[in-house]
Amino acid sequence: MVRQVVVRRLLALDEAGRLEAVHARIAAESAGVSVRTVWRWLAVARESGCVVPVPRRGGFVFTDELWARLSDVGGNVKALHRWMEEHAEGVVPSLDTGVVPSLATLYRVVRAEQRAGRVLEVSRPFRMDPVVYDRALAELALPGTVDETGRRPEPDAVGEPESDDLTEQAESSPFAGGARLYAPGAHLVSTCQLAEVTEALAHTVAARGVLCVYGDTGHGKTVAVHQAVRRLPRRVPVRRALVAVKPALPQLRAALLAAFGLPGKALTSRTDAADRVLLEALSAPGVLVIDDVQRIAAPELDYLRLLVDAPTTQTSFVLCGAGAERTLARAPALASRILTWQHTSRLEAASVPGVLRLFHPLWHTATDADLLHADETCARGNFRTWAKITSHAYASLSRCPETTADRALLTWACSRLGPAAP
C-alpha cells in the first residue's frame, strides 16, 4: 500500500469531517506502518498540501517496494542489500547517481524508518466492533479491501471466500476436510469452541509461540482453526503443511518446504541446504498450520522442536489433530515449548437445538425433544455427525417436500450412518 493512496483517502475523510481513529488504524495495518506514522503522514500532507514526500536531492529514499522486500527476507538488511546489487537497475530510481547505497547507509536508513514508527509485518491482535470496522473499511475504500464504490471485491480478487455457505467454503478453502456435505443453505456457527480457538490463536500469533488444538474426531478442530486464521490481519501469511502417515524425516521436510512454496524435490536430498532454506522461511512472521500432527512420530516431532528453537524463527506453529496431546506426550521436548493447549470439546446437549437451527434452516421445524433424542442416541455432540445427518435429512426433504423434520426423519437419517455411528 503506497503512502500517497493512504494519505489521499484520509485527507478526503478529513475534509468531509468523518475522520476517526479507526480509519488511521486500518490504514496503518494496510500500509504496514504504525498508527503514529500514519498521523505524521497526514500532518505533513495538511501542512504541505502534497501527499508524496519530497526527497532530498541526491539522497536515497527507502520506497514501499523496498520495505516490502525487506519484509519478505525477514528483516535481513544484508539480504536486501544483496538483492539490490543483483537488481541494481530500477530499484533505486530516487538516486541521481543510480548507484546502490552502501550497506552502512542501508542500515542507517532502516533504523531511521523504524524510529519514525515504520514496522515490519507482525501480528497485532485488533479488537473492534465489526459494524464500526466494516463501516470504516468501506469509507476508506483501500485497494484490496473494497472497491471505489464501497463494495467488497469478488472472492477471486482477494483469494479468500466471502460466503458463509459451507459448501462454497469447502470448494475454495485450503482447510477443507471432514464430512462431504450436501446441504445448500448450511452456515458456519460461531460456537463457544470456535471462539476459544480464535482467542488462543490470536494470543499465540502475537507471542509468536506454539499452539496445540486437540480433541476427539469430528469436534470441529480444523474448521475452528480455519476460521481463526481467516480473522487474522490479511497481511499475516498463513501456510499449511500436509503430512503423510508416519512420515520419515525427508518426507516431513518436503511437506514443510511445500507449505512455503519452496522446491522440495531439489532440496530434500540436500539436508543442510533444505534446513537453511526452511529456517530462512520461518524467520518471517506468519502462521504455519500442521494438521493431523498425530501422524508424526517422536523423532520427527523433535525436528519440529529444533525449528521452533531456532533463534531466527518468527513464525507461529499451530499443531492440530485428534489425539495430538497423546502424541506430543511422547515428545516432551516439543510439548514443553507449547504456549497454549486448546481442547475442542463436543457440543453440550443443552446447546444442540440452538446450534442446529443456526446451522441449517431445515431444523427450525424440528422439536427440541426430537433433536436431543437424536443427539443422545447417535450424534452425542459430534458436529461432524450432525453435518452428515443434516445432509441426509436435506436430501430426503428435497425428494419428498411433504415430509417434515420429525423424529421419524431423524431416525432414518441416523440409520444411514452405519451401525457404529459415533
Q: Which of 42-46, 116-120, 150-154, 298-302 has the lowest mean pLDDT?
A: 150-154
What is the model's pLDDT at position 317? Answer: 95
What is the model's pLDDT at position 75? Answer: 75
Amino acid making up residue 319: L
Cα–Cα distance measured from residue 420 to residue 422, given in angstroms and rounded to the nearest whole number: 6
What is the model's pLDDT at position 244? Answer: 87
Q: How many CB atoms within 10 Å of residue 207?
A: 13
Please compute the mean of the pLDDT values over residues 189-215 and round it to a whole number: 88
Model pLDDT for residues 121-142, shown as the tens digit of each residue? 533 444 455 556 556 656 655 5
Superfamily holding 192-343? P-loop containing nucleotide triphosphate hydrolases (3.40.50.300)
**Model pTM score:** 0.56
177 or 107, which is more confident? 107
Model pLDDT for residues 223-243, shown as the tens digit of each residue? 889 888 888 877 688 999 988
Contact 122, 32 (CB under 8 A): no
Cα–Cα distance measured from residue 185 to residue 361, given in angstroms and rounded to the nearest whole number: 7
Please compute the mean of the pLDDT values over residues 89-108 and round it to a whole number: 66
Cα–Cα distance measured from residue 220 to residue 345, given in angstroms and rounded to the nearest whole number: 9
Phi, psi dihedral angles at 195 (to 5 degrees): -65, -40
**How far is CA 167 from each of CA 179, 187, 337, 401, rounded to the nearest angstrom?**
11, 9, 37, 22
CA 179-181-187 angle, to 5 degrees, is 110
- Residue extents of the structural domains in the chain: 3-115, 192-343, 349-415
DSSP 420: T
Cα–Cα distance measured from residue 372 to residue 350, given in angstroms and rounded to the nearest whole number: 8
Cα–Cα distance measured from residue 371 to residue 373, given in angstroms and rounded to the nearest whole number: 5
The DSSP element (H or E) to which 214 belongs, if any, is strand 210-214
Please compute the mean of the pLDDT values over residues 316-332 and round it to a whole number: 91
Order of strands across the sheet with 210-214? Answer: 238-241, 286-290, 315-321, 210-214, 340-343
Q: What string of DSSP letters covers 8-31?
A: HHHHHHHHTT---HHHHHHHHHHH
In the structure grid, which three cell numbers stand for residue 104, read together? 552502512
Rounded to a whole number of angstroms, the CA Rg of the chain reads 25
Band of residue 287 on the pLDDT scale cut at 50, 70, 90: very high
Contact 123, 206 (CB under 8 A): yes
Cβ-in-10-Å burial (0-12, 13-18, 19+) of 14 comes to middle
